[in-house]
Each structure stands twice: as C-alpha cells, then as structure tokens.
Structure 1
C-alpha cells in the first residue's frame, strides 16, 4: 500500500505527546493510519543525540518524521542523516505556533516566507529517499488566507511537494498561546475544501477540529484527514475502528482486547528501561466514556510513581485493567 493511501487518515505530530510509546499504542489500534513523530529540529538531528531522537520501533510503520527548521542547508543535512532510520515520509513543520518554534524562526511563522519554504523543501527532496511533505496553517496574523494559502500551495507544488496537510485555522503569533491557537482562531473548512478543487493534482489533508464523527464527511471532499487531540484523548473512539476506512476489519473488537494485546508491548518497553508512566500516560483515555474509565485513569496515574521496576509496572497495568473489567461486568 502506498504512503498516500495510508494518509487518508493520520494522527497529527504533537509535541510532548506522539513519542515512540504513544505511536506504538496507536499502531496497536490501527494497522493503516499514518503516524507522525513529535517535531524534531534540524539542528538537534545534526548536533544532538540523533539515535535517541530518531529511535522508533519497526512495528510503527507507516510512520513519518516531522522536522522543524528554516535553513535549507541544515534541513538538507538533517534529512540525509535521518534517511538511515527508515521513516516512510519526511514532513516539514510550517504550522506550529509555539514560542520555542518562533524563536528558532520556523513553524507557522514560515507562512510569511513561502519562498524560503520552497527552498527548504527542495533541499530536503534532494536528499530524501522517501516523500517530503508539508504541514501548514491557512495563514498567520493579519495575512489574508484567501490570498496566502493558494500561493503557498502553488509554491510547494512547484518545489516538488505533492502532499500537504492544512490546519484549517490561522495562527496568531502574538497574543495567543499555543493552546489558544488550537482553539480560538475560527476554522475555515470551506477555504481548505476550495484548495482541493483548485489543486486537484495534489494530495491535500485537512486538520483542525476533525473528530471520528466528522472524518467521513471530510473525506468526501479531501484526500485525507488528520486527527490530533481527539486521537490522543479518545484513542479508541478515534482509531479503534479506523481500518474500516480501508475496508478492513479493525484489529480488536473492544478496548479491553486492545489493552490485553498491548500488555506484551508494555512488558518489552519496561524491560528496555522505560517507566510505566512514560507508557501509560498515553493510554489514559483508552476507556473514555465507558465503565471503569475513571478507575483506569486513577490507577495508572496514582500508582505510576510507586512502580519503579518492570515487574511493578506490569503489575500496576494488570491491576488497572482488572478494575476496568470488574466495572464492565457490574455495569
């Protein structure tokens, strides 16, 4: 299956969230959806602990690496250095509005310099054995998205990019926090839909406020949907039945089966040196709105600090799952 087919449904790159444990959990729920790493900056790949930053499990595929940067030469080097790690896609971040990103002159602020972004992706494409893609906003600050977005997409297409994910909100780089930038600027889905009509030769995905309930309707207009916070906080509802988009049977019938299947992976990670909190924090929403959900969250949250060995971590996981099953039987 080609990577574009997997991109019909993807889980957004989310800083401090979509680490290898989160991705491993999400892959357990869906065989097909495209997963993304947290953003890794180009300088960190070049000068930092590259093996640790780019580590992934073979079971994560298909998985994309998102890189942040604004210097074409740095991005060229970072792409070349990342190639041996075997990601299925390299994505350039042109959407994150955080202060850390702005101070490095990359992320959403790059919407103001589309020519530079084009130079960046050309440099990345020259070194990448896999597809180079872009994730962007519809504009920033006082820009007119009706003007900015089509120009941006045309420049990306001319530079060789064939797949772009568009967060359907403008980013305000001053006056709004990163959290507020995910919620306050109004969504402009119609604009993004018009971009698909205007650029039929490009694979365009829509991001921003997309939920499991709205994904199917969006796919009638777009090539793909990207789900962010909903996939993280309500993973079963977002991903548990996701493989049906590809006309395939989902891996599990219910979240209990998924939790049981995850146990072996949790055990491996614990034996490799992970602490249970590093893993379980990504799984707290597995039973969202179901009997035992609160017990599951409380058991894993309150007990994680005391579980300092692999055996204790696995015992905590088992005990939390037992509480869920008991609650379901009593419901």
Structure 2
C-alpha cells in the first residue's frame, strides 16, 4: 500500500539506531495514523554485499514508512534503493547526518557533508535506479565548516541531482572529540539558519530536526513556513505526548488516540511475535515511556522491566501492567 510520504513528513519520527525498529514503529503507528515513520539506518553494504534482506522486514500496518540507507558508493546505494523499493517502502532516505565513528569508517553519515559532489552523485544514482522518492537527512555542517557557506552549496548540489525533500538537523556534527550522544546535545542549535534555507530554496520541501520536544514547538516551526518537523528522542521517550494528538493538531485529521487503547491494540501483535519465537522484551522495551508523566507510569515501567524478560512472558503480562496503570489513574481521579 503506497501512501504519500511527502504529506506524512509534515511530522516524522526520526530514524534512531537501536530504537526505531519494527516493534517501535508498530506502537507509534497505533498512536498516529499519519506521522511518517523511519527505519533505523540500514547500510547499503549490508544489503548488497551481505545479503541481509531481513533488515528490510516491516509490518504492513506501518505505512507510511521510510527506509533510511547509509553508504557512499553510488552503484551500491542504487542497488540498495531498488531493494527498498521492491520491499514497498514509501521513501528512500540517505543518511548524511550520523556522526558515529563506525559510520565514519564506512565513509557515510555526517562525514559526507565534506563531499557534496559525492552525495549528489549518490542521490542521482538512487533516483535513477527506482521509482520511490529519494530524500536526504543532513546536518548544517561538520567540524570547522561555516554552515552559512556550506549548507546552501550542499542543498544546491543535491537539488540539481533531483532531490526535492530534505530534513536538516539544525546542529553541526563534530567528527572528532564528541561522541554520538554528545553530538546530539552539545553543538548549538541554529533553527534560524534552517528557516533561512527554506526562504532561499522555496522549491525544496524542508523539514527541521534537532531538540524539538513538543507538538507546540513543532507547530511553531510549521507556522513560520517550514514544510515538516522531525522529532527524535521525545517521540521515543514520551510517545503519547508527541503522537496521541498529532493527527488532529498537525494533520487536521481524526480524533486523538489513547495510550491505553494502543496497548490493547498491541496485544495481538505481541501474541504473534511471542508465538513466532520472539521475546516479549523485544517489544516492551519500546513501550516503557508510553505513560511518561501520567499516573501509573512508574508501576508500568517497573512491572515490565522486571518481568518482560521471563521466558514464559506474553501479552497477558502487558495486560497486567496496563491494569496497574488504569488502577493508578482511577485512584488519582477519586
């Protein structure tokens, strides 16, 4: 089922390694029907040379869902893009923002900000290889680059190669001296620069990413003229705060969702996963923050953390945890 990823990118949950796997995305989809979801980064070499096609697996209910690729070889990225298109993804995204050492050693991620000509060659090959839209997620610059100079040049080159949609993480990445975690917090945010890029490139669909932790903040960026907002850690750690009202507030469609109902709707999925040999904790680790800031949040998190690893654990354990939450909420309402 092909859906409009451009429309959905008005709000997106960022691709996050070790977090946005298919179980996480399934939960997020139950909270928002419209928000664009992304895979964890999948490297082109893993798909093309390693034959790791299992990394492309997802649930049909996840649409609209985008595949994020990492790589720097145009031919290899083209082949990986074809595999992603054949798998049915709604968008193919090139990672030009991840600053980890492992990514740098593979010559992809944020280090590619230094070689915009290579990025342009990569996306041109990806676009030519298959019919799904190719997008880019980048930083405003790396190391000692001057973002005001390098970012317009970067955008100009990828636009000339056919890219029409880009997400800009509004921080520099420091490739030496900062860990990936520090790169998400320490370099200062420059939202104004991203807004200036939208003014300079009105034909590009530009989304902003970095440090955005509420729908209020997302709405502010959209009201100022940006085309989309991508939220990362807040959407993972407090998914209900970001996603339960997203369809109504950001897309103007549907009613707000309910975290407790999302849990109930996850139970058949959990049953299938466990029956198929999966572990309950593989799913519930992404659900721990579902009731963050709400009555019963501590009981929910503790019960799942202490019990989901048990061999016999299944959906009935999640139902028990939900009963604890509902009990706490009822007590609070009295």
TM-score of the alignment, normalized to the shorter chain, above 0.5 = yes
Counterpart pick for 1:54 among 53, 56, 62: 56
Alignment partner of 1:323 is 2:324 = yes
1:180 corresponds in structure 2 to: 182
What's the counterpart of residue 34 of structure 1?
Answer: 36
**For residue 9 of structure 1, what is the aligned residue in structure 2?**
11
Residue of structure 1 in register with 2:221 after alignment: 218
Give the match's secondary structure for 1:169.
strand
Quick check: 1:242–1:250 contact (8 Å CA) kept in 2? no
Q: 1:204 aligns with which of 185, 199, 206?
A: 206
Alignment partners' CA distance in 1, 2:73 and 2:255? 42
* TM-superposed deviation, 1:267: 1.7
Using the TM superposition, give the Cα deviation of residue 49 of structure 1 relative to its aligned residue in structure 2, in angstroms: 4.4
* 1:263 CA displacement: 1.6
Identify which range, 258-267 or 141-150, moves more after superposition.
Answer: 258-267
CA–CA distance in structure 2, aligned partners of residues 295 and 186 of structure 1: 36
SS of residue matched to 1:305: coil
Partners of 2:10 and 2:35 within 8 A in 1: yes
Aligned counterparts, 1:111-126, within 5 A:
111-126=113-128
SS at match of 1:10: strand
Alpha-carbon shift at residue 76 of structure 1 (Å): 1.2
Inter-partner Cα distance in structure 2 for 1:38 and 1:95 = 13
CA displacement 1:230-258 (0-9 Å, x = unmatched):
00000000101110121112352x32122
Distance 1:206 1:219 in 2: 9
Residues 21, 39 of structure 2: 8 Å contact kept = yes
Give aligned pairs, total. Answer: 327
Instruction: Determine the structure 2 residue equivalent to 1:227.
Output: 231
Once residues 255 and 263 of structure 2 are traced to their aligned partners in structure 1, the CA distance between those partners, rounded to angstroms, is 14
Given candidates 289, 297, 302, the residue that maps to 2:301 is 297
Q: Is the 8 A contact 1:169 1:185 kept in 2?
A: yes
TM-score by length of 1: 0.97
Bigger shift: 183-192 or 313-322?
Answer: 313-322
Q: After TM superposition, give the deviation of residue 272 of structure 1 in Å.
A: 2.4
User: Over aligned residue pairs, what C-alpha RMSD do you find?
Assistant: 1.1
1-structure distance, mates of 2:261, 2:75? 47
Between the aligned partners of 1:250 and 1:39, the Cα distance in structure 2 is 32
Kindly indicate whether the alpha-carbon contact (under 8 Å) linking 2:212 and 2:231 is maintained by their aligned counterparts in 1: yes
- Partner Cα separation in structure 2 for residue 90 and residue 232 of structure 1: 22
Matched, 1:240 2:244: yes
- SS of the residue corresponding to residue 161 of structure 1 reads coil
| 1:275 equivalent in structure 2 | 279
SS in 1 for 2:40: strand
Q: Which secondary structure state, in structure 1, belongs to the residue aligned with residue 141 of structure 2? A: coil
Separation of aligned partners in 2, 1:49 and 1:275 = 25
Task: State whether residues 207 and 226 of structure 2, in contact with CA within 8 Å, keep that contact through their aligned partners in structure 1.
Answer: yes
- Is the CA contact 2:198–2:226 (under 8 Å) kept in the aligned structure 1? yes
Q: Which runs of 4+ in 1 moved over 4 A?
A: none
Aligned mates of 2:320, 2:5 — CA distance in 1: 39
CA contact (8 A) 2:27 2:262 kept: no
- The equivalent of 1:249 in structure 2 is 254
Q: Which residue of 1 aligns with 2:73?
A: 71
Q: CA deviation at 1:271?
A: 2.0
CA contact (8 A) 1:140 1:170 kept: yes
Q: Contact 2:5/2:65 (CA < 8 Å) preserved in 1?
A: no
Distance, in Å, in 2 between the alignment partners of 1:272 and 1:51 is 19
TM-score between both structures, scaled by the size of structure 2: 0.96
SS in 1 for 2:314: helix
Q: Alignment partner of 1:123: what SS?
A: helix
Residues 121-150 of structure 1: CA deviation (Å, up to 9, x unaligned): 011001121100000000000000000000
Separation in structure 2 between the aligned mates of residue 233 and residue 128 of structure 1, nearest angstrom = 35
- In 1, the alpha carbon distance for the partners of 2:156 and 2:56 equals 31
CA contact (8 A) 1:79 1:128 kept: yes
